[in-house]
Structure 1
């Protein structure tokens, strides 16, 4: 009898914890429910990074998936500006878990963000102007 009560108590604790977690995750969704007026819902979407901007960044990120895979597998540090731009928008202006929802770990997302932040902060190097070589055929 005591074992049944203990198991029931554990099951209730798990269900209560799961419900609390679900409420925290769905907090931004609650702002989009029809009970709020349109202006409040649009403000909530804009404050969360702008829906269109985030989706455009996801589409751009999809096109540079090969670059990201090579970045992690081979250690190639050659992510293009479009790819870094998408990572920048997603990590700075959109939802924090967006990269993890695409299959990247939190650590990988932090690495990508750090690389692109550093690349954006570096001054572009001017390429030397080609000089005319005389006498070479």
Structure 2
């Protein structure tokens, strides 16, 4: 009787469908900044020459130096600023400094949404965030927005 019960239980457990998690985004954490990229737009992910490179179906590439890469994970919802298909990479954050590769107005917001810093910047500008208290900030310039943890 016990053997028949165990066999029946094993058969039922084996027939139980297992649902896969519903992942919609690849979220990359690199030197305190997070970025989420919609999975349906990802064509390939490659590793080489010290970089992780994500290529999208519209031929946009996102390059992350492996030395700065902290985490890559699949998530059901965007846990960071989502990469826009038309977004140009004008902002980079490393070691407490924002580096700008374009021209425009730079806006820095705290986690509450309050504007804490604003500046007109030119290509090659380096903006130190050392004067800001530790926390999470949203940095916006033109079409690009990134999340920065300091």
TM surpasses 0.5: no
Considering Cα pairs closer than 8 Å and 6+ residues apart, tell me whether 1 or 2 has the greater RCO.
2
Larger radius of gyration: 1
TM-score normalised to structure 2 length: 0.25
Q: Which has more strand, going by share of residues?
A: 2
